[in-house]
């Protein structure tokens, strides 16, 4: 059974940082692409970043320079380092693992507020 579990969300002040984790089990992690998405209240889910099995990272243009995606195949975990956070970054952050089927986690809440 495939499981995708996000963690690391929370409340942070503007300008702060958070590191999200996405642990995947039930798949050969080294073969999958991992994506991070986010959804704010009243908005559609949007793509944030992806990292391929060859460690190629892509980002939505608006977040380049503030967010960094990485992966540790030995731990079957991907990460999203978020720096200089802004109130508009407040959202539920979701991770997916893209194999023949795409598997989604339940999300982790990130709130940026003073």
| Residue 17 DSSP symbol | -
Phi then psi for residue 50, to 5 deg, are -140, 155
Q: Half-sphere exposure of residue 44, counting CA atoms within 13 Å on the CB side?
A: 2
pLDDT band at residue 36 under the 50/70/90 scheme: very high
State the sign of the Cα–Cα–Cα–Cα dihedral 15, 20, 45, 71: positive
**What does DSSP say about strands 10-12 and 108-112: parallel, antiparallel, or unpaired?**
parallel
Using one digit for the tens of pLDDT, what is the confidence trace for 49-95?
999 999 999 999 999 899 999 999 999 999 999 999 999 999 999 99
Q: What is the mean pLDDT of the segment spanning 12-36?
A: 97
Position 86 scores a pLDDT of 97
- Cα distance between the two ends of the chain: 40
Position 46 scores a pLDDT of 97
pLDDT band at residue 107 under the 50/70/90 scheme: very high
């Amino acid at each position: 059974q495939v499981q995708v579990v996000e963690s690391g969300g929370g409340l942070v002040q503007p300008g702060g940082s958070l590191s999200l984790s996405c642990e995947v089990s039930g798949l050969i992690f080294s073969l999958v692409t991992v994506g991070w998405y986010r959804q704010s209240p009243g908005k559609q889910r949007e793509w944030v970043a992806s990292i391929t099995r060859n460690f190629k990272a892509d980002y939505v243009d608006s977040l380049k320079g503030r967010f960094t995606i990485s992966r540790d195949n030995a731990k079957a975990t991907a990460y999203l380092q978020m720096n200089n956070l802004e109130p508009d970054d407040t959202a539920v952050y979701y991770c997916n693992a893209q194999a023949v089927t795409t598997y989604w986690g339940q999300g982790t809440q990130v709130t940026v507020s003073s």
